[in-house]
Structure 1
Amino acid sequence: MKPGSTLYADGSGRYAYVSAGFSWPAFFLGPLWAVAKRRWWWLLPMLCLDVVLSGCAELADIQGREAALLLASCVQLSYLMLRGWYGNRWLEASLLRQGYFRVA
């Protein structure tokens, strides 16, 4: 078993590992991480937030508003940190809802 991770299984013999702590893949990849983990209902909200936040930053940059650009960048960074902090917790909760149980 991977150190620092929890093993989950379901009744049909499928297994899934969930790492503890910060999720670097969720932080950097976001929607691609949701696809890799087959969490399709996370994909659309993550894509929408990425597009909206990037659009806000682009608009602030085009208009030359440094304060708005700084605010948009801070909000984007906060969103990335949120994905990293909660990515593994979201994955664990999703597996439990799908009928997986903790093995080790």
Structure 2
Amino acid sequence: MADRIYLGRPGTDDTIGVPTGFSWGAFLLGPIWALSRRMWFAAFAMVAVELALYLPSLWLDRGNIVTLLLSILFGIACGKYGNDWHRRVLEKRGYAVL
């Protein structure tokens, strides 16, 4: 099981545990995962990148294969860094590592 980093808001009992390591939710669901964690900019950026990856496939003959490979690589990057992004967003909202 993955370790967790616990963040709390000073002055309250509000505590959130953010897993460390690879995020399967960010890999498989991308923008939906980001929206469920109230990471609005990350969700918007993920949709924008996916659209940017999809559009060339409309004009290229082998674009579907290229799009698939780039989408998988983008998903892996989201999975690898997703939990770190979530922790940083929480820290910007006033949470601190306990």
Residue from 87, 90, 94 that aligns with 2:82: 87
Gaps of 5+ in 2: none
- Number of the residue aligned with 2:35: 35
State the percentage of identical aligned residues. Answer: 26
Cα distance between partner residues in 2 of 1:53 and 1:39: 21
What TM-score does the superposition give when structure 1 sets the normalisation length?
Answer: 0.80
Q: Deviations over 1:42-91 (max 9, x none)?
A: 1211111222323333x15xx6x23x332222211110100000000111
- Number of the residue aligned with 2:8: 9
Q: Which has the larger radius of gyration?
A: 1
Kindly report the root-mean-square deviation, in angstroms, between the aligned alpha carbons of the 2 structures.
1.9
Cα distance between partner residues in 2 of 1:29 and 1:89: 16
Structure 1 stretches of 4+ with a deviation exceeding 3 A read: none
Aligned partner of residue 50 in structure 1, secondary structure: helix
Gaps of 5+ in 1: none
